[in-house]
């Protein structure tokens, strides 16, 4: 332990730059979700196509997180993040200029937006490497609170689309992205505590460690649930209660805000009582709440309360997972952030796409929610199976930190 308080440790300008970069990247990563009811009406999309359209950015982001994880450890997180931001801004400007006039074009845009989702594998190690072990939960929680960018998308994208048209929203999004990019270039710095670059084959060795796979599963449920719901709730609210896209966006924003706000508290709670204990409560409560949602809430207030609960629960779980990851894989945090983020992205893709397919095949999204509740229980069983080994091996070797 360093003995310094959290705010005396690390590098605050980099922490804030990481948060803002992550925040705006997440805003555009899920922007197709709040716009989906409008886009689907204009392009004549089926329920399955709507689900796939909002899920593709999540899958693309998952895959690109692996690439970013490699680049972070080789060229540094700051340069990796700068490259990704330029690609996203160029892609949005291209889509705005030429227009998105077909389902295939929407999918292509979703692939480009995956670069924004891959920011996860940059922002977290950019912040993490500045902070000692006892403050990892708080640092990763604050940087990871950039999930709140999904709130901005849910709040403003449908409203701006109503005023200007949904295609114009793509061009308008570049304005805040450019402002944050300037601040990022000026304020962010790579930590002097950078691990030596490894060969690509060395990264593959990490996958031989079973703990890497466990973390991918755990985050696949917490973050996968969070981002999958973030992308899908606007569609669900409009289908279930015939809300307007703007009103559905407000409901979605409230749920996403709850999950984003709680993430740093989840990290701080994990610092205090341990990530394993925190995740135990998370998976149990998430499974119960998702099962309740699968029964089909009869009224909007009940549905909103349940989604607020599950999003807050999953948000706390996101913070708890990343209290543990830097303790176990500190020297490989770049590539591990990519791998764990990949797991989260795959979970989000599965949930968002399965809700759409379930709606088309059965007329209801209930089975999609119920199956994901089952995945939360699988994660709980897995966590229970490894907790004793973790606490008595690598967890026992870290002084003053709860595992």
pLDDT in tens, 102-130: 999 999 999 999 999 999 889 888 887 77
114: Cβ contacts below 8 Å, ≥ 6 apart: 29, 56, 57, 58, 59, 60, 61, 62, 63, 64
Task: Check pLDDT > 60 for residue 379.
Answer: yes
197: in domain: no
Domain encompassing residue 307: 13-188+208-392
In a domain, residue 333? The reply is yes
Cα(171)–Cα(158) distance, integer angstroms: 14
| 194 within some domain | no
Q: What is the average pLDDT across 157-166?
A: 96
- For 269-322, the pLDDT digits (tens) are 998 999 999 999 999 999 999 999 999 998 999 999 999 999 999 999 998 998
Looking at residue 69, its pLDDT comes to 80
* Share above pLDDT 70 across residues of the chain, in percent, rounded to a whole number: 95
For residue 367, is it within any domain? yes
Q: Does residue 203 sit within a domain? A: no
- Cα dihedral 155, 153, 349, 296 in deg (nearest 10): 0
- Interatomic CA distance for residues 147 and 169, integer angstroms: 20
Residue 329's closest CA among 267, 263, 395?
395
13-34 per-position pLDDT tens digit: 898 999 999 999 999 999 999 9
Q: Is residue 371 part of a domain?
A: yes
Determine which of 45-59, 248-262, 325-339 has the lowest per-residue pLDDT on average. Answer: 325-339
pLDDT bucket at 169, cuts 50 / 70 / 90: very high
Residue 403: pLDDT above 60? yes
192 has pLDDT over 80:
yes
Q: Considering the domain boundaries, does residue 397 fall inside one?
A: no
Residue 247: is its pLDDT beyond 70? yes
Residues 6+ apart with CB under 8 A from 311: 226, 229, 255, 256, 258, 259
Query: How many structural domains is the chain composed of?
Result: 1
- 2-16, 17-31, 180-194: least confidently modelled range: 2-16
Closest CA to 387 of 320, 315, 309, 312: 320
Tokens representing 17 are: 């730059």
CATH number at residue 99: 1.20.1250.20
CA distance 347 to 184: 29
- Across the chain, what does the average pLDDT equal? 91
pLDDT number for residue 7: 62
* Residue 141 belongs to a domain: yes
Q: Which of 300, 347, 363, 350 lies closest to 46, judged by CA? A: 363
| Total residues found in the chain within this entry | 403
d(CA 81, CA 74): 13
């Amino acid at each position: 332990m360093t003995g310094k308080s959290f705010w005396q440790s690390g590098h605050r300008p980099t922490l804030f730059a990481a948060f803002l970069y992550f925040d705006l990247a997440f805003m555009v990563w899920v922007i197709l979700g709040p716009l989906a009811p409008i886009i689907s009406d204009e392009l004549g999309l089926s329920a399955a196509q709507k689900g796939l359209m909002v899920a593709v950015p999540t899958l693309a982001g998952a895959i690109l997180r692996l690439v970013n994880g490699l680049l972070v450890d080789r060229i540094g997180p700051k340069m990796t993040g700068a490259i990704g931001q330029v690609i996203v801004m160029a892609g949005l400007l291209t889509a705005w200029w030429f227009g998105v006039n077909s389902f295939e074009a929407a999918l292509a845009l979703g692939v480009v937006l995956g670069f924004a989702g891959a920011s996860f594998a940059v922002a977290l190690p950019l912040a993490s490497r500045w902070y000692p072990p006892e403050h990892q939960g708080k640092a990763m929680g604050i940087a990871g609170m950039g999930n709140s960018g999904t709130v901005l998308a849910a709040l403003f994208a449908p409203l701006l689309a109503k005023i200007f048209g949904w295609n114009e929203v793509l061009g308008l999004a570049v304005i805040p992205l450019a402002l944050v990019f300037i601040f990022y270039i000026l304020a962010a710095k790579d930590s002097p505590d950078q691990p030596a670059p490894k060969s690509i084959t060395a990264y593959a060795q990490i996958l031989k460690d079973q703990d890497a796979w466990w973390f991918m599963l755990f985050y696949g449920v917490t973050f996968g649930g969070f981002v999958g719901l973030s992308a899908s709730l606007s569609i669900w609210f409009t289908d279930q209660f015939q809300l307007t896209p703007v009103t559905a966006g407000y409901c979605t924003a409230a749920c996403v805000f709850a999950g984003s706000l709680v993430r740093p508290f989840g990290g701080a709670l994990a610092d205090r009582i341990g990530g394993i204990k925190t995740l135990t409560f998370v998976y149990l409560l998430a499974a119960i709440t998702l099962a309740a949602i699968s029964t089909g809430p009869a009224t909007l207030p009940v549905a909103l309360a349940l989604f607020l609960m599950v999003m807050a629960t999953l948000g706390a779980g996101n913070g708890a997972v990343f209290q543990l990851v830097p303790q176990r894989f500190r020297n490989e945090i770049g590539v591990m952030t990519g791998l764990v983020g990949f797991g989260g992205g795959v979970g989000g893709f599965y949930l968002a796409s399965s809700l759409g397919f379930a709606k088309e095949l059965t007329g209801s999204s209930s089975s999609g929610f119920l199956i994901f509740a089952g995945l939360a229980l699988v994660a709980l069983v897995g966590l229970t199976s490894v907790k004793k080994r973790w606490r008595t091996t690598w967890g026992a070797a870290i002084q003053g930190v709860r595992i």
